[in-house]
Amino acid sequence: MSGEERVTAPNRRIGSDLRGVLNVLGAHLYLEDSQGRVLLGLRHPDSLYAPSTHHFLAGHCEQESAVACLVREAREEAGLVIRPDDVEFAHVVHLVDPPGTRPRMQMIFRARRWTGTPEVLEPDKCLGWGWWHPHDLPDPTVPYTRAAIQAIQAGCLYTEIGWT
């Protein structure tokens, strides 16, 4: 076994190519208000990913289903209560960003109903929540967030970014 490879499970190796690399799974909330505006948060300037950029409410799955992750993150990040039965799949972005890094499968779910008003509960991650018209998103917005919103508006379920 080379120094760049490691065994993660029987017969599954992670090396310098992407063939054996497991994907990170993210759950994202596509939430529209009664005026058709989408909820986005302004990421903290010290964020490791996309500092000072607008993005979906989102999180990584932690030994839980994607819907359970979404429900948990909505409550933890913004004080929103969403029932799993009110969540539906809206879009998925499969991306490598930047090229050569670990691939990510970003699942976007729409909540048809929720209770609460978005509030900043993790000020070290998000500076504020705002509602934006899908055709007039703020600058800067995370590129795959923008792509997902445009695709959802067009009725498209899948987007790939960064694959060669």
pLDDT at 10 over 50: no
The domain limits of the chain are 24-161
For residue range 112-145, list pLDDT tens digits in order. Answer: 999 999 999 999 999 999 999 999 999 999 999 9
Range of weakest confidence among 37-41, 95-99, 123-127: 95-99
pLDDT at position 98 = 80
Residue ranges of E strands in 35-152: 38-43, 54-55, 57-60, 87-95, 104-111, 126-132
Inter-residue contact 41 to 77 (CB < 8 Å): yes
Dihedral, CA of residue 60, residue 153, residue 157 and residue 127, to nearest 10: -10
Range of weakest confidence among 9-18, 62-71, 152-161: 9-18
**What is the architecture, at CATH level 2, of domain 24-161?**
Alpha-Beta Complex (3.90)
Percent pLDDT > 90 in the chain is: 80
Q: Which two tokens stand for residue 108?
A: 């976007």
